[in-house]
Structure 1
Amino acid sequence: MTLRVGLLGLGYFAQFHREAWGRIPGATLAATADGDPAKGADHPDLDGLLDAGIDLLDIATPPPTHAAAIRAALPRGLRAIICQKPFCTSPEEARAVTEAAEAAGVPLIVHENFRFQPWFRTMRAALDAGRIGRPLSLTFRLRPGDGQGEDAYLARQPYFRTMPRLLIHETGVHYLDVFRYLMGMPDGIYADLRRLNPAIRGEDAGLVVLDYGGGARAVLDGNRLLDFDTDDPRRTFGTALLEGTEGSLRLAGDGAVTWRRFGTRETETLLHARDWPGFAGDSVHALQSHVVRALSGAGALENTARDYLEVIEMVELAYAAFEARTRLPLR
């Protein structure tokens, strides 16, 4: 049975959703909705979309719209709802709609696609195969290079300029989820955040350190004003190094992942660089395909709303740790 998908919102990032749905077996984009007539949507609002006989609602609108849209869709007998991140406007609101979806028996998935980027899936497979032994250090250097000057973010996502929380809430959240995917939940978090561009409201640089009981550390070193060695900064957004007792994994700016055995200099390429369609290694397509497969019975859903509450908890603790100027325990 082909899933009929309804896409709510046709803004900048929704175009990646729209394109990806057109390439996924077992699903078809049946209808779209957006309040801006210039976007050319099939319907002007959510009601029209829900009346179009859809099976799955894909919400690609800003966080203030999420809770109302989810609650309106729950009584409609949908197979599932996917909602973009940042998920809702507060931990309390996210928890409330999660509980409402569970009570209604409707799977609710957060569209957190960075863990579906092929380089991070490759790293996870190498970890599972024991290729680096016990992981002890993971670092991601976020360097999109789009945050300099008076016109920062205006061309693509101008709302970034007025967000009171930017680096961690909007962007770093991706890597907190990736760290959780690769290393598990940490025991504590420390953060040092700062605003470098006075033209914006929120923080645009900083360090977030996750510590683990076994002595491992994961570090997000983020700076939106700086770039890195790549032909396309929006492919990987930065570089990564995952080190263990028996080897290390390195992500380069072209999307290649290499493995080096401990004590040697020779490397093996586990994922070769290539031209990926869609967004950032075709991760939107990968996430949406995963949802379609899971709904057909092929595996369990990742990034359910209940599971994603842990990521929201990590984000909030990072900001609290920065305000307290100390490491804070997660539990």
Structure 2
Amino acid sequence: MSLRVGLLGLGYFAQFHREAWTRIPGATLVATADADPATGAEHADLAGLLEAGLDILDIATPPPTHAAAIRAALPRGLRAIICQKPFCSSLDEARAVTDAAEAAGVPLIVHENFRFQPWFRAMKAALDAGRIGRPLSLTFRLRTGDGRGPDAYLARQPYFQTMPRLLIHETGVHYLDTFRFLLGEPEGLYADLRRLNPAIRGEDAGLVVLDYGGGVRALFDGNRLADFDTDDPRRTFGDAVLEGEEATLTLTGDGAVHLRAQGHRAAETILAAQDWPGFAGDCVHAFQAHVVAGLETGGFETAARDYLRTMELVELAYASAEAGCRLPVRSGAFD
């Protein structure tokens, strides 16, 4: 029997959710809801959507609506609730609904799809196979090139201009989560955040350094004004280098991953560039398929409880930038 999926919200990014559900065996998108009649949704609100006999509720509305939607859905006997990021309006709110979902016995999973991009999966596979030896350094350079001038972001996501927190809260969170996926939990964090475009409210550039045991470092270098070498900046959003004692992995703007052994110039392509469907390497599809599979295996990579750790790193980045120093990573530091 196919899982019955309901999608709440039909805004810009929800189009990728909607399309991806049509390609996932074992799941069927049976109903949508949105307050805007122009979207063509079957229902105007969550109440109507929940009457469609759902197995999975997929929430793709803005953060201020998340907690109420999750709480309204918990008594309905759903098999899972998926919630887009940024997850809720605050860390405290996210913790509260995570507690409520666990008490109700309903899996709550955050739609964090960047770690499901094929290039990061390929890098993780090579890392786990020992192909680069002991990891030494990971760098990701975010260069979206869409943040220049007074019209920055207006064409696609105009609310970016007024967000008090932009680079890390909205975008950098993806890479903090991906760094956790690749290298595990850091011991400390240092952030230097700044605003380059005076037309916006929040920060649009910055550095975040995560330090790990044994001297390993991960660097998120984000700049939304600068671009990089690619035909499509919204494929990889930037480039990456993962260096180890025995080899280096490189992600290029075409979505390819290359492995170069220490002391050699020739590189092996471990993931070739290709024309991926959907968004950013079809990572929305990969994430949603992971959730469907997880209902059988009982495991979800971005379950809400685990994702609170990523949200704590976001808060720590802002605290570090304000304090101007490295801060230790301690679970529950923002209780």
**Band of TM-score, shorter chain:** over 0.9
CA distance, structure 1, for counterparts of residue 69 and residue 152 of structure 2: 31
Does residue 158 of structure 1 match 2:121?
Answer: no
Structure 1: runs of 5 or more not aligned: none
Residue 264 (structure 1) shift: 1.0
Deviations, residues 81-133 of structure 1 (Å, cap 9, x unaligned): 00000000111100000000000000000000000000000000000100010
Structure 2 Cα separation of the partners of residues 300 and 278 of structure 1 = 24
Q: What letter corresponds to residue 201 of structure 1 in structure 2? A: R
Cα separation, 2, equivalents of 1:37 and 1:128: 48
Aligned to 2:213: 213
Q: 2:274 matched to 1:283? A: no
Output the CA distance in 1 between the equivalents of 2:36 and 2:121.
37
TM-score relative to the length of structure 1 = 0.99
Q: Give the partner amino acid of 1:312.
A: M
- Cα deviation digits, residues 187-214 of structure 1 (max 9, x gap): 0100000000011000000100000121
What residue is the counterpart of 1:233 in the other structure?
233
In the alignment, the residues of structure 2 paired with residue 136 and residue 96 of structure 1 have an alpha-carbon distance, to the nearest angstrom, of: 37
- Name the SS for the 1:61 alignment partner: coil
Q: Give the TM-score, by structure 2 length.
A: 0.98
Match of 2:302 in 1: 303
Question: Could you tell me how far apart the structure 2 residues matched to 1:245 and 1:153 are?
Answer: 40
Report the Cα distance in structure 2 between the residues aligned to 1:319 and 1:249, rounded to whole angstroms: 29
Distance 1:209 1:264 in 2: 28
The superposition leaves residues 235-274 of structure 1 with CA deviations (integer Å, 9 ceiling, x where unpaired) of 0000000001111100000000000111111100000000
| Runs (4+) off by over 3 Å | none
Measured after TM superposition, the shift of residue 42 of structure 1 is 0.4
Q: Distance in 1 between matches of 2:299 and 2:37?
A: 38
Question: What pairs with 1:36-55 in structure 2 (closer than 5 Å)?
Answer: 36-55=36-55
Aligned-residue sequence identity (percent) comes to 79
Q: Report the RMSD for the aligned CA atoms in angstroms.
A: 0.6
Q: Distance in 2 between matches of 1:177 and 1:151?
A: 29
Q: How does 1:80-99 map to 2 (within 5 A)?
A: 80-99=80-99
Residue-by-residue CA offset, 1:145-195 (whole Å, 9 max, x unaligned): 000011000000001010000000000000000000001110010000000
Cross-structure match for 1:314: 313
Paired residues for 1:169-208 under 5 Å: 169-208=169-208
* CA deviation map 1:67-93 (0-9, x unaligned): 000000000000000000000011110
How many Å apart are 1:45 and its aligned residue? 0.1
Give the distance between the partners of 2:293 and 2:303, measured in 1 at CA: 14
2-structure distance, mates of 1:326, 1:301: 34
Q: Provide the C-alpha distance between the structure 1 equivalents of 2:119 and 2:196, rounded to a whole number of angstroms.
A: 30
Aligned residue-pair number: 330
Aligned partner of 1:324 in structure 2 is: 323
Provide the C-alpha distance between the structure 1 equivalents of 2:190 and 2:124, rounded to a whole number of angstroms. 24
CA distance in 2, matches of 1:65, 1:123: 35
For 1:245 and 1:226, the matched residues in 2 are separated by 31
Alignment partner of 1:219: what SS? strand
> Which residue type is aligned with residue 304 of structure 1?
A
Aligned to 1:270: 270
- The alignment partner of 1:88 has SS state of coil
Q: Whole-Å Cα distance in 2 between the matches of residues 161 and 185 of structure 1?
A: 32
